[in-house]
Structure 1
């Protein structure tokens, strides 16, 4: 730790340009761009300029919130130059994966800080240093401590637009930093609020009556969680709290509507989160705000921590599921399109909570560009599909046709409950499939 009087001079010694920072990346390096909004902008552009001259570099990241693909990807030609890996794919990483340039790292999100090792360069954006020599890591404490521990060299890109996120393990002192780049202050990446569809609203209408006063909410991202947040803000439900992996704009809506009091039995008065992504309105809400509390994902997603919070409500989405109740929230057949995230963490924790509930939501069907429609409740999941949440951990499944309680149910009871909330056009076919699978009996009942 430096003496306070040394900080200005030590800062100047460590100050370099983005071009100089990029030049520090050597052949064979494993580089991390961090998580959430932490991915660098200016240094990434400069690495991109060097991409064709590099060999054997790997860039890893997790759940990156970014408006555009990495310059290091756009300006490189092959994996021999730079290859990529992520623990949760976003839109441009899916394209990189299709191009054979990006690999997936399977994780349990609550364990992620322990996974990282042998990081040659950690390059992340941060909030400007304060007078005490501390850089705020921004709204993504998540797994950054694990990366900091594993990194041989730490390079910070300072962005004045990065919100100051208060919380636990959200600061990094100048003495623990190798180099500092004063960036161009690129605007924070935006995730626009996507308007919910009528189907999203119907699903939300089934969930809202099951949320009691005094509940603590974990909302994922997407149309259905957004619809739930909007409808809760307009409902009579009150005295809510927040504890979530990803902080999204819905929490701002609920806070402004007077619904969030933070009166939960753990971390009272705080909206706890691991990382954030949304509109500028969300980042402004986070900035230097004691109400929102950023913490490592090893705490936020810890099943025991979640279970200790009374009336914990977890609401997430999925891609499809089968009649056994196995849930896929990350692949389309063999193609990885997102990640495990914390769905399993919160499904287990919410069910173990006193009065808690876990909801996994899905539209009953998907319509393709050629006009054909398929059921998203399937007899069995397609070949190559990854199980995100095993059948033993699923509590409630919700579609626009109702709610299916799966906990404690036999295989034929599960099949019956799921067929009952499938699209009516597919129910008879699903019954026939269930009969072939031996999980439907002549005494099974279903309301058509």
Structure 2
């Protein structure tokens, strides 16, 4: 909140004029991660810098969203209709187009703390300008650009915001990006006190759902607000990814580790969808769920762990979400009746709920129990009263006055040492039901178009259960630690890694040659918090292998030259082959647990390396029950259930057509085949020239405009597609 009067501007060029006039020509432009950026402001500011070499522009952000582009004629035919359908009207970031084309001017620098996985592997400027920062440190590190070595620069934070009139007053919501707001409220005033010129700018976008919680503020939170429907760009959609067998297997194993009545954090992507799918199966199809768990021998191998930290039964109490990223998984679980455990902002209320002494309906016995709480005795204080009233314990029309509770007619003394006072409060001041329950705390969101539509369709009452707040709240225990510990009981913080070493190190964000794949984001925050909470567990998911041009490599390795999560924070690691409970284990146990969940094609070599290093006995053998870890065995175990409609490739739906799904899978397979053996791929294409076009191929060929090729090039492309479809089994 600032003491200056907020400036309202309708034209974005005028807004940039105002920014430069206020801050000068040396500007640090900070923008939210992913969805919350203003295309209009970023593009106009970038144009000014391109046109004026005297300007210096440093953009600090993460995940500058890009529409997919084609690198071949076949990809163009596939992508153009998809882009037009899914991303119609979504603007491009001009600085990203120039970055990709290698024409970004020397007076502009882009620094990012998180990439779309693999999107900048071979972009030197991006690799050189990556912030390796915990999510909870990002706002600080952005501000450090001007606080430390650019004190003569101006600082601007520009974001999108939703707008809503409530009881005659206009309010603004950070909506998709409340992630840095708690830090900004602290850091922006601090910067001004140190003499840093700064602006906080919001551009209203009516396509954003109005989200509640710490995301909501009045106009005074911003220095400048641009409110013009001409800038209401469509929201960027992230379509669901296909979920393959290995990912479904990981989801199944993880689902057994989630306790009814607990807390869930999970991210975007196919692994998150696999977990959601398995949890919904556990809840709605318990017999089939128990059957597949039995076929996987989960309880035989990990029964003690599952009984201790998870379960197999449907969710009677439900789950509460505490997640930096509010993803479609949580809406699927909400829709499916699993995300339903409500938490409350008051520690007295939450403690009594956790202890089983209070439920949503406030009984006389529960009310009397709460009045016995130490915090209310001997006299109920004003702050304590307000916290309890916010949760519905005290009736909403009451107010605290002169050490008593006033209902406009009668004053009830708040001194609980007097039994008559206590009884009067119980008789006249207690509400019937708790209010303002929260089923999910999130910090930012991004998803598919139907995800945004779902949030917009929600009633106001429903949306108020999904509280958006900063990562300073969600990703750590510091500050308000008492209530966070109470709310986050039985926390399961689930994230993905790329490689795990036999010593227990996990690499999630970069390669050993230094190439940054994505970023640490909040992963370290959640792993650390899992160890700080008494009943929480960190679960890191790692696909056991990776397909490369030269073949298959193991992601379970003896050692690796990069670490995101060090082994002293080891906890649970899950691959498609099982669960490794590493917490509190000595090195030999860690090695054995991880060998058990490695792909069997690589187990002998890994075991030999462990023996040479002296980490397991020279005569140790991997138990026979763990030596059938092959993809074919997994597919066989799921086949029966796939035939019954479970474990679909898009379990949560998709924005792609049936033809696009098959074509995409087939062409990816052909591309991999060609990378491994150009001769083999070419032979298949040549042989298809001598065969007629199968009738069942026509829908696919029509989709990419190759059903009636006129040129030799188009005929060649048609044969490539036919070969790919045949290899995939679609023909």
TM-score for the superposition, normalised by structure 1: 0.89
Structure 1 segments unaligned to the other structure (5+ residues):
3-9
Distance apart, 1:63 and its partner CA: 4.6
Check 1:346–1:192 CA distance in 2 against 1; reply closer, same or farther (3 A cut).
Answer: same
**Post-superposition offset of 1:363:** 0.9
Counterpart of 1:7? none
Structure 1 residue 38 displacement after superposition: 1.2
Q: 1 CA distance for matches of 2:123 and 2:156?
A: 23
Distance 1:245 1:367, change over 3 A: same
1:140 to 177, 183, 186: 177
The match for 2:201 among 148, 151, 155 is 155
1:6 corresponds in structure 2 to none
Distance 2:122 2:44 in 1: 20
Q: Distance in 2 between matches of 1:361 and 1:48?
A: 39
Q: 1:27 aligns with which of 25, 28, 33?
A: 25
Shift in alpha-carbon separation, 1:176–1:208, aligned structure 2, 3 A:
closer
1:88 matches 2:114: yes
> C-alpha root-mean-square deviation of aligned residues, in Å?
2.9
How far off its partner does 1:232 sit? 0.7
Query: 1:329 Cα shift?
Result: 0.8
Which aligned pairs between 1:182-331 and structure 2 lie closer than 5 A?
182=228, 183-236=230-283, 237-238=314-315, 239-264=318-343, 265=350, 268-287=437-456, 288=460, 289-303=463-477, 307-308=485-486, 309-331=488-510
Cα offset, 1:409, TM superposition:
1.1
1:352-398 Cα deviation digits (max 9, x unpaired): 43433221011110011x2411100111114xx3x211111121111
In structure 1, C-alpha distance between the alignment counterparts of 2:508 and 2:66, rounded to whole Å: 21
Q: 1:64 to 1:172 in 2, by over 3 A?
A: farther
- What does residue range 426-445 of structure 1 map to in structure 2 within 5 Å? 426-442=602-618, 444-445=620-621
Larger Rg: 2
- How far did 1:75 drift? 4.0
1:62 aligns with 2:62: yes
How much does 1:263 deviate?
Answer: 3.7
Cα shift at 1:96:
8.3
CA contact (8 A) 1:53 1:81 kept: no
Query: More strand by proportion, 1 or 2?
Result: 1
Runs of 5+ consecutive residues of structure 2 not aligned to the other structure: 68-90, 147-153, 189-196, 284-313, 344-349, 352-435, 628-731
What SS class does the counterpart of residue 34 from structure 1 fall into?
coil
Matches of 2:620 and 2:118, distance apart in 1: 45
- Aligned to 1:350, the other structure's residue is in SS state helix
Contact 1:37 1:66 in 2 (8 A): no
SS of structure 2 residue aligned to 1:37: helix
Q: Where is the helix percentage greater, Structure 1 or Structure 2?
A: 2
Give, in angstroms, the shift of residue 107 of structure 1: 1.6
Compute the displacement of 1:416 (Å): 1.4
Whole-angstrom distance in 2 between the partners of 1:325 and 1:355: 21
Hey, what's the Cα distance between the residues in 2 that align with 1:102 and 1:18?
31
